[in-house]
């Protein structure tokens, strides 16, 4: 993979399949990589939030990248999540992933401690000055210290290695402010959105692509939405964006993230295993209900059969139920500083 | 104005010009109404947040509507802000504004006290059941109790009088969720966005129009953005949306709202008077600096001369300065439950 | 009432009883005033948040103060809520309430619009420079623009008329920071807490008193808690503070504020009428359940009989139920910028 | 250390001294342990937030506990931070620390991902059911998923191993609600506060002690505050709480946490090294200014000499400066879901 392949299109943040002992399920992960590439995603994005990077050990995170790089064999570019405990460890990860031929790393802003813009700047500056590989800033203010526009602009100006930002805030004017601030000084800089609910308008306003969790479950739809939008087929892409929003909301808000995506991936035929975050009995019950609803949604899109009990006529998802849940969870997220 | 004129296009939330004694400047307000209509806004929206409805007495709020209805003489529809101290007083206002021939009222969700969805529902239900005129729900979560999607849906289903929502959250997926929930049951329901920063994508995803504060200062641009977007001229509308974003940010975030809009309107030739919220000396100084920057922006758009000291070459607004301020203020708003 | 009576002790923010037509129930209000004074509250605080000042018209707000001032006849000092639509109207209210002999006014920080510290300062400065009567700053960040410590300090230094702050944030270190900043320059300045849940520790750390909604329902307990704490009877006051917390939580969080307090006051024998904010059917049902629980709590304290169906043995309130609700509502409040 | 030593008193969350290569400075850490114990802290709390546990590798976290356990030699109980990437790794850490003889572990609620109460419950339940050692829940909602009152109560009831909670929210009514919910069913359960600003009132209302960062810098003061409060010497303890608040605010809010504490510890004579989070040039300058102010504060308390340039007469800290910063940072924290 040439080091100046543009970061463009849909990069899939993959779930990591686990086996019955809770270990990385390597054969299934390899199968999943092939499946994704065959369905047209433009790139892979392991060790993102969907990939639950914080729940793996440092050795496991490395192994995930090694497996995926080996299996991909250059067919698509890889954006490798590389955040470790501190800048020294992170730079080591950058070096290792560089040696594996990944296209770039993605580094989430410092989390747990909530840093000021000055601290966020200093953190990325030290990494960018020492990384042998392009760095994508990863802004996800619901989980980590926010990266504000002036910080992005300054890093883009001072650090040639900082080549892109992945922004999961879903805040469209924020994305536009970044594009307006950075593009004039760094025309090569790439802007990726991590918020599937706004993929179409983000692309229309200048984003280069997305790292979208839905593309790990319904890559056919996410890819098609990208193509339709880039082709200017507005009516078709609008209609598809509304359908994707429904799937996204159902998977994102109906269970503790990323359990909804894991459940949906199972419906696509993968052995995903049980996640590492324990689920209470109530949560397990809810997940079963969700799984049936997701199966109806996926069946309506032609990706699976209907569940044994059948699906409600008309709307495949119980929209009211999901809408209530979305409100509650969006409220929760807002409470905790997001959205 | 026929009662079933669709609520569509750009409705201007007007600043109220004051005279030297701080009273409503009726001649200037009439002149302003004509000026806006001549520049193509589709409707007027007095007693909105830009109109600082909370800072006028109940008698003044009524007089503002009376003046504007009289001066408009049916040339464009009027959406009249009608929220009063309680439902009884609000219903009285609805009746009065109905007798003046306004197209619909807009009623902000209860504020000061923050209500639950059940309380928000009960409030609008009682008003809608007793209003002789169409009601627009006004959702502005940075200032008032949020109106969530299920509440909008329920009110749309149960209350024929509830005919539209004006949403100033700027949250695109939220708008899409409302459209998806309400359009199937109420195809006539109108969706207006109050967040100029996202006007183009909001329209592209199905909004019927906007109540946009920029249209009170640069109606030519806001109207043109609407036309270009509705015509599907994406490249032109994208470029204009970026320019409008810059103006919007400068006016919105550089001073206590709506002082930036008042200062800009002065540059368009109106005697706006001094606002009712006192400004500290520091704030007054900042407003002068802002005014020069706004003059450069408006001059770059061809609406005014440059200020005496001239304007910086290249970018008309000091973008870095504005960007820093935007970050700070957006942070403040987020802290208080918005954005 | 001498103008230099210290603002000290428990000031009751009263509910306004309404009659069957929804109008102010003057006889009941007068009876309520006597009842409160007889039970030992140190002062009255009409037109506060508990008094739902925003839901009354300007004429009604004035009449409430007139009735209370007349009925009180100088037996206790009155702190009159005086915030109106703008500084001019507010200053007129200050003048009127001064003529009625109230001890001081309380003015809530600007709401709806969220002001910066500079704007909050300018607002209070203009009022304080023109008020003929002592001004109490009213900080309630869950509902209105926050008043930060440097702003309180500056107003205390520059404005002799600014004589006190009523803080309803419940944030103990915040209160300590204010006391540390203001007491050295204004030893006469009074600090009142509006958060009953922390009354005892607030008093222990230097507060002069409280404006506590519980004192409008169980004045015997709130007053006793004040006395025990000021006497240094720590064990007794701690035990009472825990009991008051339970009552406070039940009344505050189990219904849309201040419906829980209205329901409890009804149990003390007053005709409170139906509040002006409409309640949905679900809310009305919940209020009935709450009322039974409150009756058990009040019965346990000896203030009422048990409800017809009896009370659970042991804990009089269904603590788990209340705890869940408290969590939910505290979450909601936090989401909206409070607590 | 007997396994049923009550968790009571002041547990110091220690900074980890680093050497010039950024590695753990073992001799200095051992010296620091002795210094703390000699100054009377009741216990040690390594791998807390002050100890920046997230910025060390898993091997380093283990080594820190090993060094401290070895150096302490049972003189005081150790509360060892034991959160790792997932429950399996965390349980392994519990087993290892148990073998080292620590009194209990403290496990922070899941962070990065923000979990619902059901998820938080399931997480702690799995750990508690498999830990050979007492578990302290660690609630720090500004950084991690909040642990709400019903969850604490349920874990206390179901898991004998869950023996305490350390709460760093500083929310006094929240602490009281926990005590009221848990004490009746688990009289042995310990409540520790991590918010130095409210240590005295927390103790007065029933807390058993604190894990207070100030005790790592001025153990003499924090310990004395504990003793005075437990002895009921209210006037003395109130005065000391105000002094400690000033120190706490200066160290906490004037620099990116925990840099202020690191700077202050240097002034007490320890070689702390440079923290692992890079600091921008502006931040480094600010830290120098802060250091001078802290030196004046510590000199005023008799712990150091004044800095070369002397100190301002009267107040040793530039209070206004600190107050402004506190406001800004508290605002930031609130924005992100804390305080």
pLDDT, tens only, D297-318: 899 889 999 998 888 875 544 5
Residues of chain D neighbouring C328 (CB-CB closer than 8 A): none
Percentage of chain B modeled with pLDDT above 90: 85
- What percent of chain D has pLDDT above 70? 91
Q: Read off the tokens for B178.
A: 């409302």
CB-nearest to D150 from C177, C246, C320 is C320
| Residue B237: Cβ within 10 Å count | 25
Instruction: Please give, rounded to a whole number of angstroms, the shortest distance from the CA of C339 to a CA of chain A.
Output: 11
A56-113: pLDDT as tens digits? 999 999 999 999 999 999 999 999 999 999 999 999 999 999 999 999 999 999 999 9
Q: Please give the mean pLDDT across all residues of chain B.
A: 92
Q: What is the mean pLDDT of residues D256-266?
A: 96
Phi, then psi, of A110 in degrees rounded to 5? -50, 140
Phi/psi at D129 (nearest 5 deg)? -70, -15
Locate B52 and state its tokens: 């600082």
**Span D98-113, average pLDDT:** 98
Question: Is pLDDT above 80 for B327?
Answer: no
- The contact set of B with A (CB < 8 A) is 117, 148-150, 153, 170-174, 176-177, 180-181, 195, 197-198, 200-201, 204-206, 232, 234, 238, 241-242, 245-246, 249, 319-320, 323-324, 326-327, 330, 334, 337, 339
Tens of pLDDT, residues A278-319? 999 999 999 999 999 899 989 988 999 999 888 887 554 455
CA dist B233 and B230 (Å) reads 8
Look at residue B2 and tell me whether its pLDDT is greater than 80: no
Q: Given D52, D122, D279, which is nearest A278 (Cβ)?
A: D122
pLDDT tens digits, A156-194: 999 999 999 999 999 999 999 999 999 999 999 999 999
User: In chain C, what residues touch A335 (CB-CB under 8 Å)?
Assistant: 331-332, 334-335
Contact B80, B246 (CB under 8 A): no
Q: What is the pLDDT of residues B160-204, one digit of tens each?
A: 999 999 999 999 999 999 999 999 999 999 999 999 999 999 999
Angle between helix C58-72 and helix C26-38 axes, rounded to 10 deg: 50
Q: For chain A, what's the residue count?
A: 339
DSSP D54: G
- Rounded Cα gap, residues B53 and B61, in angstroms: 7
pLDDT in tens, B23-45: 999 999 999 999 999 999 999 99
pLDDT digits (tens, 9 = 90+) for B106-115: 999 999 999 9
Binary contact (C332, B86; C-beta < 8 A): no
- Can you give the C-alpha Rg of chain A in angstroms? 19
Q: What chains are in contact with B, requiring at least 3 Cβ pairs below 8 Å? A: A, C, D
Q: Which residue of A has its CA nearest to B234?
A: A204
Q: Taking CB atoms and an 8 Å limit, are A334 and C335 in contact across chains?
A: yes
Q: Is the pLDDT of residue D255 over 60?
A: yes
Mapping DSSP onto H, E and C, the string for chain B reads: CCCCCCCCEEEECCCCCECCCCCECHHHHHHHHHHHHHCCCCEECCCCCCCCHHHCCHHHHHHHHHHHHHHHCCCCCEEEECCCCCHHHHHHHHHHHHHCCCCEEEEECCECCCCCHHHHHHHHHHHHHHCCCEEEEEECCCCECCCCHHHHHHHHHHCCCEEEEEECCCCHHHHHHHHHHHCCCCCCCEEEECCHHHHHHHHHCCCCEEECHHHHCCHHHHHHHHHHHHCCCHHHHHHHHHHHHHHHHHHHHCCCCCHHHHHHHHHCCCCCCCCCCCCCHHHHHHHHHHHHHHHHHHHHCCCCCCCCCCCCCCCCCCHHHHHHHHHHHHHHHHHCCCC
Select the residue from C169, C205, C329 to test the D interface by mutation, using most D Cβ atoms within 10 A: C205
Each residue of D278-304: pLDDT tens digit?
999 999 999 999 999 899 989 988 999
If you average pLDDT over residues D147-163, what whole number do you get? 98
Average pLDDT of chain A, as a whole number? 92
Residue D149 has pLDDT above 80, yes or no: yes
- Out of B172, B177, B320, whose CB is closest to A323? B177
Is the reported ipTM for this assembly greater than 0.90? yes
Using a CB–CB cut-off of 8 Å, the residues of C that contact B are 22, 49, 52, 54-58, 85-89, 110-116, 118-119, 121-123, 125-126, 142-144, 256-257, 276-280, 282-283, 332-333, 335-337
What is the reported pTM? 0.94
The upper half-sphere exposure of residue A291, i.e. CA atoms within 13 Å in the direction of its Cβ, equals 16
Interface test with D, best of A58, A85, A92 (most D CBs within 10 A): A85
pLDDT tens for each residue of A20-30:
999 999 999 99
Point out which residues pair with A138 in neighbouring strands: A108, A166
DSSP string over D244-262: HHHHHHHHHHSSSTTHHHH
pLDDT tens-digit map of A201-232 = 999 999 999 999 999 999 999 999 999 999 99
* Nearest-Cα residue of chain B relative to residue D331: B335
pLDDT in the model for residue D317: 45
Close Cβ partners of B84 (under 8 Å, ≥ 6 residues apart): B58, B61, B90, B92, B93
- Where residue B226 falls (left for φ over 0; alpha for ψ -120 to 50; beta otherwise) is alpha
Per CB distance under 8 Å, which residues of C are interface residues toward A?
331-332, 334-335
Interface test with B, best of A169, A177, A210, A318 (most B CBs within 10 A): A177
Angle formed by the axes of helices D87-99 and D58-72, nearest 10° = 20
Q: Pairing between strand B134-139 and A104-108? A: unpaired
Q: Which residues of C touch D323 (CB under 8 A)?
A: 149-150, 153, 177, 181
pLDDT at B324 over 80: no
Contact C173 D197 (CB under 8 A): yes
Query: What does the block give as tokens for A167?
Result: 């922004």
A70: left (phi over 0), alpha (psi -120 to 50) or beta: alpha
Q: Work out the pLDDT band at B1, boundaries 50, 70, 90.
A: very low
Q: State residue C338's pLDDT score.
A: 35
Lowest mean pLDDT among B86-90, B222-226, B316-320, D301-305: B316-320
pLDDT tier at B284, thresholds 50, 70, 90: very high
Q: Do D335 and A336 touch (CB under 8 A)?
A: no
Cis ω before D187 (30° cut-off from 0): no
Question: Which DSSP helix (H) or strand (E) runs through C324?
Answer: helix C319-335
Listed as ranges, residues in chain C with pLDDT below 50 are 1-2, 316-317, 333-339
Cα D298 to chain centroid, rounded: 20
Mean pLDDT of B281-308: 91
User: Contact B140/B169 with Cβ under 8 angstroms?
Assistant: yes
Tell me how many degrees the CA angle C146-C152-C157 measures, rounded to the nearest 5. Answer: 160
Helix %, strand %, coil % of chain C (to 5): 50, 10, 40
Given a cut of 80, is residue B69 above it in pLDDT?
yes
Q: Nearest residue of C to residue A328 by CA position?
A: C332
Closest CA in chain C for residue D179: C242
CA dist list (Å): A116 to A144, A291, D257? 11, 40, 10
Cα distance between the two ends of chain C? 35
Q: By CB neighbour count within 10 A (0-12 exposed, 13-18 middle, 19+ buried), where does C59 fall?
A: exposed
Per-residue model confidence (pLDDT) at position A1: 45
Q: Is the pLDDT of residue D335 over 50?
A: no
From residue A234, give the alpha-carbon distance in Å to each of A9, A161, A201, A246, B94.
18, 35, 10, 18, 39
> Please, which chains are in contact with A (at least 3 CB pairs closer than 8 A)?
B, C, D
Task: Report whether pLDDT(A337) > 90.
Answer: no
Show the domains of chain B with their CATH numbers. 9-335 (3.20.20.70)
Report how far Cα A40 is from the mean position of its chain's Cα atoms. Answer: 16
Q: Would you say residue D145 has pLDDT above 80?
A: yes
% pLDDT > 70, chain B: 91
pLDDT at residue D331, rounded to an integer: 53
What is the bridge-based pairing of β-strands B104-108 and B79-81?
A: parallel
pLDDT score for C253: 87
> How confident is the model at residue B102, as a pLDDT?
98
Instruction: Please answer yes or no on whether A180 and B327 come within 8 Å at the CB atom.
Output: no
């Amino acid at each position: 993979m040439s080091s100046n392949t543009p970061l463009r299109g849909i990069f899939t943040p993959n779930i990591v399949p686990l086996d019955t002992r809770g270990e990385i399920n390597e054969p299934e992960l390899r199968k999943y990589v092939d499946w994704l590439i065959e369905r047209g995603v433009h790139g892979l994005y392991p060790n993102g939030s969907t990939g639950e990077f914080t729940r793996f050990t440092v050795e496991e995170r490395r192994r995930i990248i090694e497996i995926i790089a080996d299996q991909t064999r250059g067919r698509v570019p890889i954006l490798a999540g590389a955040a470790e405990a501190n800048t020294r460890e992170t730079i080591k990860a950058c070096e290792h992933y560089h040696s594996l031929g990944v296209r770039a790393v993605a580094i989430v802003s410092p989390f747990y401690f909530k840093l000021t813009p000055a601290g966020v700047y200093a953190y990325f500056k030290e990494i960018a000055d020492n990384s042998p590989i392009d760095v994508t800033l990863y802004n996800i203010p619901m989980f980590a210290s926010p990266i504000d526009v002036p910080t992005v602009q300054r890093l883009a100006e001072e650090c040639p290695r900082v080549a892109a930002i992945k922004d999961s805030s879903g805040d469209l004017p924020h994305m536009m402010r970044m594009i307006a601030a950075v593009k004039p000084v760094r025309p090569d800089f790439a802007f990726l959105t991590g918020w599937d609910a706004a993929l179409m308008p983000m692309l229309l306003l200048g984003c280069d692509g997305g790292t979208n969790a839905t593309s790990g479950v319904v890559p056919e739809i996410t890819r098609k939405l990208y193509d339709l939008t880039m082709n200017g087929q507005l009516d078709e892409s609008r209609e598809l964006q509304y359908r994707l929003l429904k799937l996204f909301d159902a998977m994102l808000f109906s269970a503790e993230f990323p359990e909804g995506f894991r459940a949906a991936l199972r419906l696509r035929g993968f052995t995903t295993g049980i996640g590492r975050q324990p689920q209470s009995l109530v949560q397990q019950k809810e997940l079963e209900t969700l799984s049936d609803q997701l199966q109806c949604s996926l069946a309506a899109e032609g990706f699976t059969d209907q569940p044994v009990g059948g699906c409600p006529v008309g709307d495949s998802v119980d929209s009211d139920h999901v809408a209530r849940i979305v409100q509650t969870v969006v409220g929760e997220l807002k409470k905790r500083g997001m959205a």
